[in-house]
Amino acid sequence: MMHEHAFTRRLFIQRGCALASLAATVPYFIEQSALGMLGDPALSSQPGVPDERILVVIQLGGGNDGLNTVVPFGDDEYYRARPQIGIRGPGAAAQNGQPAALALDGARGVGLHPNLAALKELYDQGLVSVVQGVGYPNPNRSHFTSMDIWQTGRLDAKGSGWLGRYFDNTCGGTPKPEAAIAIGRNAPLALEGDVQKPVAFESPSLFRWIGQDLHPSLKEPYDRINRAGAAASPTGASEPDSQKSFLMRTALDAQLSSDRIRAAAAKDPLVPYPQHPLANQLKMIGAMIRDGMPTRVYYASMGGFDTHGSQLGTHGNLMKQFAESVQAFQRDLKEQRNDARVTTMVFSEFGRRVKQNASGGTDHGTAAPMFLIGAGVKPGVFGNHPSLVDLDQGDLKYGIDFRCVYASVLEDWMKAPSEKILRARFANPHLFAAKA
């Protein structure tokens, strides 16, 4: 039978503290925790790392149909492969009651899905990069394996997440509470580092670390910080590397961060957001950015893209929700005057096959477009649209390795060493404006 005070590291981790600091010794840890929660620049800054910059990642789960997202209306092969679900081009006769694709300036024969009108407005404002034909060698058509490949940045889908490694490399091996936050029930693998661990929550009201409920000994030190702002170690004469010191530090880090995150995410936005699940996630992220939290990476997700049947209506609704959510988020950032600080990256684990199936849908495919959104991106359409006749077993051949996009995000936006983080050198397509 476990003694009342016999807490162990394993028990602590099992009880679900996503913000736990894993280092064993930190002098004056309560003071450091308290200041860290307030985003003290002296504790967060690293030479050459622009702390003011933020990356927001949006995952389109299920395999978004890239051909009906960035539509190759100038290629007749597209309509031969998709006689029922093809999106007609601008000026073409109406087909299946569908409106026409939205032609993209500066690109020949490609346009956006008609329900991406809100995204098209951002594109016309010079805030969107459309990166065509993104994938990787020997593509995997399993949702889980392909998503792991994208999230680890490794073709063997093993190891830590690429953004987790970013934090491991830029935080000097020391965990930083609130460095990465995911909106959702579980934190994605992309944010899991060898040292850095992300926060994940679905709503501010549900996010509260329950350390005080687990054991009364965790309440008194936390109350002491609230009374004094910062205090000497509450562990008395215990050694800094003792189990009790470890537990108390991680408990306080978690509780302080929990309080701040809940307060920040619950703030009302400066602009109206549509009532879409993704919009609700971005609204919380916008509130936390406005609050000035030291978070460098936020992660949102949107599911439902596994459109094997009756794709036209389902995919069209998803496109509308996605575009309207992103537009509201950008408007919020602009109203906050934070729009120059934030880049949003949008990806899916794979695209769909070129030919529609017998159920009016599409099956698992390979290459698909990515989007980069924000004032710092180099606007326009990048890369060639994949050939619809030179295929890989009926699927598109990729033109840009997704890790090249990551390299641009890391090097040009986050100002981090991509080769060290991705563990290989990938050509940087420089998708950000020179001023970034």
Render the burial of 332-355: b for 16+ CB within 10 Å, e for the rest. Answer: bbbebebbebbbbbbbbbbbbbbb
The single residue listed with the structure tokens 């093809």 is 86
> What is the overall mean pLDDT for the chain?
82
Q: Which pLDDT score, from 0 to 100, does residue 206 have?
A: 54
pLDDT at position 193, please? Answer: 93
* Dihedral (Cα; 129, 132, 134, 138), 10-degree rounding: -170
- Answer with the residue of higher pLDDT: 294 or 38: 294
> What superfamily does domain 54-204+273-422 belong to in CATH?
Alkaline Phosphatase, subunit A (3.40.720.10)
Of all residues in the chain, the percent with pLDDT exceeding 90 is 64
- In angstroms, the Cα distances linking 27 to 23, 233, 252, 317 are 11, 9, 14, 53
Residue 379 pLDDT > 60, yes or no?
A: yes
Given this model, what pLDDT does residue 253 score? 55
Give CATH 3.40.720.10 domain extents, the chain.
54-204+273-422
Q: pLDDT category, 261, cuts 50, 70, 90? A: confident
Nearest to 136 by CA among 347, 369, 401: 401
For every residue of 150-210, DSSP letters joined together read HHHT-TT--SS-HHHHHHHHHTTT---TTSEEEESSS--GGG--SS---EEES-TTT----
Rg (CA), the chain: 23
Q: At residue 64, does pLDDT exceed 80?
A: yes
Average pLDDT of the residues in 78-97: 85
DSSP state of 351: -
Percent helix / strand / coil, the chain, rounded to 5: 35, 15, 50
**% of residues, the chain, pLDDT over 70:** 73
The pairing of strands 380-382 and 128-135 is parallel
* Higher pLDDT among residues 260 and 422, named by residue: 422
Residues making up the chain, counted from first to last = 436
Give me the amino acid identity at 216: P
Q: What is the mean pLDDT of residues 319-342?
A: 98
For the ranges 130-134, 221-225, 353-357, 379-383, the lowest mean pLDDT is seen at: 221-225
Rounded mean pLDDT, 368-397: 97
Q: E strand or H helix at 223, and its extent? A: helix 219-228
Residue 186: pLDDT band by 50, 70, 90 thresholds? confident
* pLDDT of 134 strictly over 50: yes
| First-last CA distance in the chain | 58
d(C-alpha 21, C-alpha 159), whole Å: 20
Residue 266, burial from CB neighbour count under 10 angstroms (0-12, 13-18, 19+): middle
Q: Could you write out the DSSP letters of every residue in 258-326? A: HHHHHHHHTSPPSS---S-HHHHHHHHHHHHHHTT----EEEEEE------SSHHHHHHHHHHHHHHHH
Answer yes or no: is pLDDT of 31 > 50.
no
Tokens 């020179």 map to which residue? 434
SS3 assignment, position 416: coil
Residue 360 pLDDT grade (very low, low, confident, very high; cuts 50, 70, 90): very high
Query: Mind listing the pLDDT tens digit for each residue in 292-330?
Result: 998 999 999 999 999 999 999 999 999 999 999 999 999
pLDDT of residue 172: 65
* C-alpha distances out from residue 72 to 98, 168, 249, 272, 367, Å: 16, 40, 55, 33, 14
The 3-state secondary structure of 66-126 reads: HHHCEECCCCHHHHHHCCCCCCCCCCCCCECCECCCEECCCCCCCEECHHHHHHHHHHHCC
pLDDT of 38: 40
